Amino acid sequence: MSEADGAPTDDSTWAVHFPGNLRWSNAMQIVKGMAPYAAVAMDEVDRVGRRLKARAALASEASGQRGNSIVRAHSASEDARKRAGDTRPEPGSSARAGQEAIPPDEPDAIKWILDAMAEAVNKEYAAGNRPAWRDAHAKAHGCVKADFKVKADIPAELRRGVFAAPRSFTAWIRFSNGHGKPQDDRIRDGRGMSIKLTGVDGPKLLAQEAEAKTQDFVMISSPAFFIRNASDYVSFLRASKYHVPFVFFMTHWHELRAANAIVEDKGGEVFEQRYFSMTPYLLGERYIKFSARPVDCGTGAALAPSVASPPGGPDYLRDRMVAWMSSKDACFTFAVQPQTDPATMPVEDPTIVWDETKAPFVEVATIRIPKQRFDTDAQQSFCENLSYTPWHALAEHRPVGGINRVRKVVYEGISLLRHKLNQSPRVEPTGNETFD
């Protein structure tokens, strides 16, 4: 099996985000032998066993507490699960509800994840092969300059952070594939849209980059992430390390559905996709998610993917971007989705989509990408060296939830590592860069 089939040829952390083409994992299991499979499987069996024990304990406690308040039922649930050593949020538990709740084992899980990923990156590039790509979303179709215009008629409670007043920001937008290696665009994959606003005043959240003048919004072409929390991410990475991610998915069907939705072929090109934050954020005091929707620059009408299957070569998304940008502008609306029901719109579980009919999106900005030449070596190299992270942010846009807390540590750590390996300085852009 070759890289062109969508399968990694080594231990790369290709599966950081998305399982890519899940179909090859069965074959990999046979190739790699049963020992690691057994180790990971036993881990999962053990985990499921602990969960079942926790449920049994909860059931017996609940039967003795009939008529008690929801709060007591919740704490019974928490206690029973804790006794069984299970920190996974359960439906209806406080961690699954609409508040931030940090599981006690999360810091250890985050450290484990960063160490495992850094180890894999170091191993991948030990032979001196360069460049060191991003460990996820490695392939950029291109970075384009855009105008991000904050609207004047935003509801008062959402006029926070960069949306406080109507104005324009110059933005650098990077479009990418989700895979951890640059791969053929015809292979099933999620697409990324990362927006970096420049000229943003005010202290930023990352201690090392508190003075930076950028605010990032990182999105993917699907609304739900496929991992609920840090502890599940550890299980997933362990299985992926042994090339048996299906072992994780065998006990996580809901996650498998989300993973498949991410990589499904949505057709069209990058300027015709809708992109989602997947994870929640603060906007002032409100929890929100956000989304960019493609629109016709002239009429403002919503655009849908125009092509069902991808004609063209391995870089067809970039080729089409070049063709589009040579003749016309591309436009998006940018909207936020304030949480309206904490019980059904969790903050700690990004596999759950917040129902748009109950929590409507509110447009707060428009994005115009003027026609331009972007496919030069100099601009592509600038694009590679950029670092996007949800944590390049003002406090009023603070990322929330366990997966975002993982990302705080991992994006910074892995970006530092790849820049070190590439011997390239890490610099936040000003918006004044030119590449002619």
CA separation (Å) from 419 to 44, 183, 339, 367, 422?
35, 21, 37, 29, 5
Q: How far is the CB of 51 from ligand HEM (least distance, A)?
A: 21
Nearer to ligand HEM, 287 or 411 (CB): 411
**Residue of closest CB approach to ligand HEM:** 192
Residue 234 main-chain phi, psi, to 5 deg: -60, -45
The residue ranges that bind ligand HEM (CB under 6 A) are 16-17, 134-137, 174, 176, 192, 194, 218-220, 225, 233, 277-279, 350, 387-388, 403, 406-407, 410-411, 414-415, 418
Q: Closer to ligand HEM at the Cβ: 207 or 301?
A: 207
CB of 405 to ligand HEM, least distance (A): 9
In the complex, least distance from residue 382 CB atom to ligand HEM, rounded to whole angstroms: 12
- Shortest spacing between CB 352 and ligand HEM, in angstroms: 13
Q: How far is the CB of 34 from ligand HEM (least distance, A)?
A: 28
Residues in the chain: 436
Q: Tell me the Ramachandran region of residue 29: left when phi exceeds 0, alpha when psi lies from -120 to 50, beta otherwise.
A: alpha
Least separation, in Å, of the C-beta of 31 and ligand HEM? 26
CA 335 to CA 375: how far, in whole Å? Answer: 29
CA distance to 20, 50, 179, 228, 270, per residue, from 289 (Å): 25, 33, 23, 16, 21
- What lies within 8 Å, CB to CB, of 170 at 6+ separation is 145, 146, 147, 148, 197, 198, 199, 431, 432
Least Å from the CB of residue 412 to ligand HEM: 9
For ligand HEM, the closer of residues 164 and 431 by Cβ is 431
Q: Which is nearer to ligand HEM, 57 or 346 (CB)?
A: 346
Q: Are 218 and 246 in contact (CB under 8 A)?
A: no
Least distance from C-beta 134 to ligand HEM, angstroms? 4
**197 alpha carbon, distance to own chain's centre:** 18
For 402-418, b where at least 16 C-beta lie within 10 A, e where not — what string? bbbbbbbbbbbbbbebb
Beta carbon nearer to ligand HEM, 84 or 212: 212
84 vs 181 by CB, closer to ligand HEM: 181
* Nearer CB in complex with ligand HEM: 37/388: 388
Q: For ligand HEM, which is the closer residue by CB, 78 or 135?
A: 135
Least Cβ distance, residue 313 to ligand HEM (angstroms): 22
DSSP state of 89: P
CA dihedral 10, 15, 19, 20 (to 10 degrees): -70
8 Å CB contact between 117 and 13: yes
Number of other CB atoms surrounding residue 353 within 10 Å = 18
Asked whether the CA dihedral 389, 392, 397, 399 is positive or negative, the reply is positive
